[in-house]
Amino acid sequence: MRHVVVDPITRIEGHLRVEVQVDEGSGKVTDALSSGTAWRGLEIILKDRDPRDAWAYIQRICGVCTTAHALASVRAVEDALGIKIPKNANYIRNIMAATLTVQDHIVHFYHLHALDWVSPVEALAADPIATANLQNTVLDTYKLPLTGPASEVNTEAYPHDFPAATPQYFAAIKDKVKAIVDSGQLGIFAAQWWDHPDYKLLPPEVHLMAVAHYLEMLDKQRELVTPHVIFGGKNPHPHYVVGGMPCAISLEDGNAPINAARLSIIDRAINMGRTLTNYYYLPDLLAIGAAYVKAGRVDGGGLAKTCVLAYGAYPMEDYKGTSKDGGGEFFHHLLIRCNGVVENFGQGAANAKFSEIKAEDVSSPEIFTESVEHSWYRYPKSDSDMLHPWEGVTEPKFTGPKEGTPTEWKTLNEQGKYSWLKTPKWKGKVCEVGPLARYIIIYTKAQQGLLPDMTWAEKMMLDQIEAVSKLLGLAPEVWLPTMVGRTAARALDCQLNAEINKFFFDRLIANIKSGDTNVANTDKWGVNTWPKECRGVGLYEAPRGALSHWIVIKDGRTDNYQCVVPTTWNSCPRDEKAGHGAYELAMMETNVQIPDKPLEIARVIRSFDPCMACATHMYNAKGERINVITTDPYSGTRVEK
């Protein structure tokens, strides 16, 4: 038995450590744990602060999913105070949310996950002529020609951003990559095990095509977030305001924050997102995913087969409140009614169990809870208690590792506390969240006749699932709850959100044309209009899944603030009654060919799109350092063995 540690496992912001026990004979992972290794205490920082400022502080949780926490935060405060936002504010927020989802998914696939599938080293054996031919074949075979409703405002004459498919283009990319490899300084391609046999699953031409698109997306992705800059003033961390949005609209005033010229720039960015998804992301992903499915790689399902959760996405119109106390209209105005839990999807949609999440559920201490039995926190009465987020306590209790020192860990204590993440639960059960959860829930509801009047977005989701099932020759309950399915669902979600972006942009334009330029409701801006004590919740289907912010307001100040984020749901430590969280279970369902180079573990964890970090450290069972790979371009690449 081999004990393998990957710490940190992620490529950009965030701190995540995983430990697995691998049977070296069979490659089977017999046990796994996932540990969040950092704590910043933002929930404590918000104590006694003005709730109207909460969004600005709390969205600093993350600069990758920038704006996600701000949106959940303003929704929480508005729910507590009973504020109904104007139509334009709802449309703008939805556009910003869809913009984030498209850009986040594209960045995740190409820059945080693609190098788990494709290799610049393998690309050196590619024939540029064959690669150009492959590019055309991939577009013909794997493009999904699905769109949203007919556009009311179509200013895109033709797709401006289209994949190059010439031998000269791919020859130039190959020469560039060869120069990087020959230099011994792999730079952005440094942190990986390029001699792993999995990279032989794809022909060299696929590697060259994908690496070319990796490089292209480094430039293109930054233009996708233009709507954040215009509506929110900047990116990352655009501005919001409790009651709506801070951007005044005027089609006559050329100096107005939102005018005709700037709306046309937003339209251009939205159309770019549609093009990049349809002509780059989806074809690339489906071509690679199909090869892995053909090779029998249908593992890494995690909790997808047994329990997934979502809150529902994109309120169609202005609404009042999320919880029952705040009015509870959120769940009745959704474009995507995935608010619920599906259990046992692996047995087929007909045999799965669907439970709806309603406004009254969010207030129930029997339904939504967090526990800290294996987390570095303490609860007032007992660490085995389960507390509702409104009653949540964030008090650190660091106990250190099982072996090692507080700063130099060897092994964590799976029997005790081992993570800075709490364990969220729905009715005492751990759940997986994310795009995969949303697709499983909508598909199950449709198969069980629970979506009699489907919205266009729900119908598109079903059409996407049907198209991929036909392409792979597998039923949805076979390919969806897998590592490949999780990655594919994110690409489908990107295509869906690109169309949702255009849908709400058209609605915004139509509403402005009708003469409505209102973007904020300030009736309850003054503290003197607030109740002495109130509480609220803000729900949002972020790119990584179900996000909720919970606030208790007393005497005009924040009395308690708790965030239950998607990575907390997925990366939570095990629970003695509920079992393993999604990360841990997914690792236990994944075979490892080379314990010292656990590419399969990295790939399955990154399929969830966790918060990211910048380097990878490997240790063996004795705690000996195997190698350290540093990817800081300013310090130079260093490899130690």
Mean pLDDT per 10-residue segment, the chain (641 residues): 83 77 90 87 90 93 85 97 96 98 95 91 96 96 87 68 93 94 78 88 96 94 94 94 95 89 94 95 96 90 96 91 88 96 96 97 96 95 94 92 89 92 96 98 98 95 97 95 96 97 96 96 96 97 96 97 94 91 94 91 91 34 41 34 33
Q: Going along 80-200, which residue ranges are E strands?
A: none
The answer to whether the CB of 59 falls within 8 A of the CB of 66 is: yes
**Please, which residues have CB within 8 angstroms of residue 120's CB and are 6 or more apart in sequence?**
177, 180, 181, 186, 189, 194, 207, 211
Q: How far apart are CA 1 and CA 311, in angstroms?
A: 41
Q: How far apart are CA 308 and CA 339, in angstroms?
A: 11
Residue 60, classed as helix, strand or coil, is: helix
The answer to whether the CB of 312 falls within 8 A of the CB of 339 is: yes
Closest CA to 305 of 461, 476, 465: 476
Task: Read off the tokens for 39.
Answer: 């704590």
Beta bridge partners of 553: 534, 558
Q: What pLDDT is stored for residue 478 in this prediction?
A: 95
Cα atoms in the 13 Å half-sphere on the side-chain side of 535? 17
- Locate tokens 């004795």: which residue? 622
Conformational region of residue 280, where left means phi above 0, alpha means psi within -120 to 50, and beta covers everything else? alpha
Q: What pLDDT is stored for residue 160 in this prediction?
A: 78
End-to-end CA, the chain: 23
> Which ranges of 453-482 does DSSP label H, i.e. alpha helix?
456-472, 476-479
The answer to whether the CB of 479 falls within 8 A of the CB of 468 is: yes
The sheet that has 386-387: what strands, in order across it?
386-387, 368-371, 423-426
**Please, which residues have CB within 8 angstroms of residue 140's CB and are 6 or more apart in sequence?**
none
**Please, which residues have CB within 8 angstroms of residue 489's CB and are 6 or more apart in sequence?**
434, 435, 436, 438, 439, 480
Establish if 602 belongs to a structural domain.
yes
Cα atoms in the 13 Å half-sphere on the side-chain side of 18? 31
Task: Read off the tokens for 210.
Answer: 């994908």
The answer to whether the CB of 307 falls within 8 A of the CB of 314 is: no
Establish if 400 belongs to a structural domain.
no
Residue 368, classed as helix, strand or coil, is: strand
Task: Read off the tokens for 262.
Answer: 């700037």
Q: How far apart are CA 424 and CA 387, in angstroms?
A: 9
Q: What pLDDT is stored for residue 153 in this prediction?
A: 58
Cα atoms in the 13 Å half-sphere on the side-chain side of 7? 23
Q: How far apart are CA 498 and CA 47, in angstroms?
A: 37
Q: How far apart are CA 46 and CA 641, in angstroms?
A: 44
Establish if 524 belongs to a structural domain.
no
Print the SS3 string covering 130-183: HHHHHHHHHHHHHCCCCCCCCCCCCCCCCCCCCCCCCHHHHHHHHHHHHHHHHH
Closest CA to 251 of 264, 239, 238: 264
Establish if 191 belongs to a structural domain.
yes
Q: What pLDDT is stored for residue 13 in this prediction?
A: 59
The answer to whether the CB of 491 falls within 8 A of the CB of 105 is: yes
The range of the structural domain enclosing residue 120 comes to 2-366+428-452+475-517+533-640
Q: How far apart are CA 254 and CA 259, in angstroms?
A: 6
Establish if 468 belongs to a structural domain.
no
The answer to whether the CB of 79 falls within 8 A of the CB of 540 is: no
Q: How far apart are CA 133 and CA 128, in angstroms?
A: 9
Please report, for the domain that includes residue 200, its CATH number. Answer: 1.10.645.10
Establish if 523 belongs to a structural domain.
no
Closest CA to 534 of 271, 246, 323: 323
Cα–Cα separations (whole angstroms), residue 336 to 77, 348, 457: 23, 21, 7
The answer to whether the CB of 232 falls within 8 A of the CB of 630 is: no
The answer to whether the CB of 35 falls within 8 A of the CB of 573 is: yes
Cβ neighbours, 10 Å, residue 600: 23
The answer to whether the CB of 237 falls within 8 A of the CB of 155 is: no
Beta bridge partners of 575: 579
Establish if 107 belongs to a structural domain.
yes
Q: How many domains does the chain have?
A: 1
Q: What pLDDT is stored for residue 317 in this prediction?
A: 85
